[in-house]
Amino acid sequence: MKKPTSKLSSLQPEQLAAWATEAIKRSKSGQIPAYVPLLARADRQGFAVQIRAIEGQILSWGSAATTFPLMSAIKPFVFLYLLCELGETAVFDCVGCEPSSMPFNSLTQLEIDKGKPRNPMINSGAIALASLIPGKNAIDRCQNLLTWLNQRAKSQLFVDELMLDSVNANPNQKNWDLAASMVESGYLHNSEIALETYNRVCCLAGTVEDLAKLGMLLVSGGDAAENCRTVKALMATCGLYEASGRFALRVGIPAKSGVSGVLLSVIPGEGAIACYSPPLNKEGNSVGGLFLLEQIAKTLRLSVFD
């Protein structure tokens, strides 16, 4: 019997090239974040995408060799790692699973929730989870996550030390305030090691190929299928911060963005789409990445709600 083929594998290179070219044009309306000096120097026109279909086809366009820090796109993988290593109870004792209608670094949201981070996809949640990663210090913890991910995904992520220096050069007061509030409420014990680990894992870097390979971990699930389902559910409801609900209606695909301009989308039963385009909209999501994904999802009818 012939295996059913994915819709994703029917995408034509010419069609992808046309959408990507339009995405670069549209990205001109976005802003490059200024709070990390090295991120601020990103090429506004830089663009790369890789699509991996479940049967193995790979379609790429743009600067395949460009590496970038994953920033918040690492959050689903910190979450996955801890679900697999520590189990659901330990993880959900530390973070909630509800969407937030406030920005990703909102202290107000945390205070409304009495110090318990609302979900793992916003900064408070990821800082709290960073504190649970096993290891004696931040370097060790990040290395444990890195080794785990690279082995499973066959990716070549690395720590972008220059980016980390740049992040550390301008301590992020909002993240410090979130950590201090969580210490006060008892959800965090040591804010220094949590923030150091968080900043380091946000500086894990790679190409769109590496990011797409990480995405495939969540598609196939393997021996972690149940945990992957949990991660995808929270990507769908919380992955694009306060824009998540609107995105679910328009596109309907679990996705996670990062402030470096990355957008990773995971389509159950189909494959993964990793995109890099630095200019961001007001919610901190990549303008070009969102445009491209919407075109692909609408044309191929990829919404998980279809």
Binding site for ligand GLN (CB under 6 A): 71-72, 104, 123, 172, 175, 202, 258-259, 284
* 3-class SS letters over 230-276: HHHHHHHHHCCHHHHHHHHHHCCCCEEECCCCEEEEEECCCEEEEEE
Least Cβ distance, residue 52 to ligand GLN (angstroms):
23
Cβ proximity to ligand GLN, 80 vs 167, nearer residue: 167
For the chain, the first-to-last Cα distance in angstroms comes to 26
Tell me the closest approach of the beta carbon of residue 282 to ligand GLN, in angstroms: 13
Place of tokens 């070009």: 288
Q: Shortest distance, CB of residue 140 to ligand GLN, whole angstroms?
A: 20
Residue 195 or 302 having the CB closest to ligand GLN = 195
Minimum CB separation of residue 104 from ligand GLN in Å reads 5
Instruction: Report, in Å, the least distance between residue 90 CB and ligand GLN.
Output: 23
Shortest reach from residue 225's CB to ligand GLN, in Å: 27
Question: How crowded is residue 252: how many other Cβ atoms within 10 Å of its Cβ?
Answer: 18
* CA–CA gap between residue 282 and residue 255 (Å, rounded): 17
> Tokens 């769109």 sit at which residue?
208
CB closer to ligand GLN out of 197 and 227: 197
List the structure tokens of 229: 């389902």
Nearer to ligand GLN, 54 or 178 (CB): 178
Smallest gap from Cβ 105 to ligand GLN, in A, equals 6
Contact between 115 and 182 (Cβ < 8 Å)? yes
Taking the complex as a whole, the smallest distance from the CB of residue 172 to ligand GLN amounts, in Å, to 6
Please give the helix or strand (H or E) that residue 51 lies within, else none.
strand 48-53
Task: For 140-162, give the secondary structure using H, E and C.
Answer: HHHHHHHHHHHHHHCCCCEECHH
Nearer to ligand GLN, 71 or 264 (CB): 71
Question: CB neighbours of 100 closer than 8 A, spacing ≥ 6?
Answer: 106, 109, 118, 119, 122, 238, 241, 242
Q: Which two tokens stand for residue 30?
A: 């976005």
Report the residue number, 175 or 197, with the smaller CB distance to ligand GLN.
Answer: 175
Best CA proximity match to 233, nearest among 152, 128, 120: 120
The set of residues, in sequence order, having a beta carbon less than 8 Å from that of 41 and lying 6+ positions away, is none
Instruction: Considering the complex, state which of residue 8 and residue 243 has its C-beta at the smaller distance from ligand GLN.
Output: 243
Instruction: Decide whether 103 or 135 has the Cβ nearer to ligand GLN.
Output: 103
